[in-house]
Amino acid sequence: MLKIDNLHVRVAGKEILKGLALQVNAGEVHAIMGPNGAGKSTLGNVLAGRDGYELTQGSVSYNGTDLLELAPEQRAAAGVFLAFQYPVEIPGVNNTYFLKAALNAQRKYRGEAELDSMQFLKAVREKLRVLHISDDLMNRAVNAGFSGGEKKRNEIFQMALLQPQLAILDETDSGLDIDALKMVADGVNAMRDPKRAFIVITHYQRLLDYIVPDFVHVMVDGRIVESGDKSLALKLEEHGYAWIAERKLVGAA
């Protein structure tokens, strides 16, 4: 589904990703862990199409097409979803209106029939229930005045509604208490599907107790330095990121 090859990306003249490689197949859950500044969020933003990232080398292929050629909205319509680390507050723009516009724009792009208000609200209600989100959140402005936990749950709710093929969760666990974390994990687990893949970017092992990954990658200084199964996350938790750095030095010697 996704093949990232030798990806080099600069931000404001500074190289952040330095030859990152990653392959994600349908049905898989990949966790990407790493210390601050490793480039984890940059990877998420580059995949979703945010401006200000300069690709200097490498490629990203998504279902056989060059993902980086597409505008953010085209990527969304093609099934890419980024749950933001810091969801943006947009006062004055109604949540329901925004999501209906988003969903219908995606459907239109894919040549599917647009949903009318009734169909849309039905879809919304179902998803809200699963994520324990109250209806009134839908009548408010996008993320405006939401608590940290509400914002993160809103991201997962949007994901549930938009049904992406490739979902990237950028530190969705940060700032969540244990109940909210479980709700988020339930939301994600309910969507696990042989046709869908997840990239879960996180700092801590804790989230991976609830969203159990098929693969764990450790990212340091702009590239993936170690990959393994879920036990790698536990080792990291035990030894810290310094352990990885040391092992790399030993390996290099």
Q: Per CB under 8 A, which of residues 196..235 are in contact with another protein?
A: none
Number of residues that bind another protein (CB under 8 A): 33
**What's the rounded Cα separation, in Å, for the pair 86 and 161?**
19
- Contact status: 76 vs another protein (CB under 8 A): yes
Long-range Cβ contact pairs of 49-57 (< 8 A, separation 24 or more): 49/75, 52/11, 52/12, 53/9, 53/10, 53/11, 54/9, 54/10, 54/11, 55/7, 55/8, 55/9, 56/8, 56/9, 56/10, 56/15, 57/6, 57/7, 57/8, 57/19
Q: Which two tokens stand for residue 24?
A: 């994600």
Q: Which residues of 4-27 are buried (b: 16+ CB within 10 A; e: fewer)?
A: beebbbbeeeebbbbebebebeee
Question: Is residue 158 within the footprint of another protein (CB under 8 A)?
Answer: yes
Binding mask 29-68 for another protein (x = CB under 8 A): -------------------xxxx-----------------
Beta bridge partners of 219: 224
- Complex with another protein: residue 198 or 241, whichever CB lies closer: 198
User: 79 or 213, CB closer to another protein?
Assistant: 79
Residues between 97 and 156 with contacts to another protein, criterion CB under 8 A: 97-99, 101-103, 105-106, 109, 141-142
- Residue 162 as a binder of another protein (CB under 8 A): the answer is yes
Residues near another protein (CB under 8 A) are 48-51, 71-73, 75-77, 81-82, 84, 87-88, 90-94, 97-99, 101-103, 105-106, 109, 141-142, 158, 162
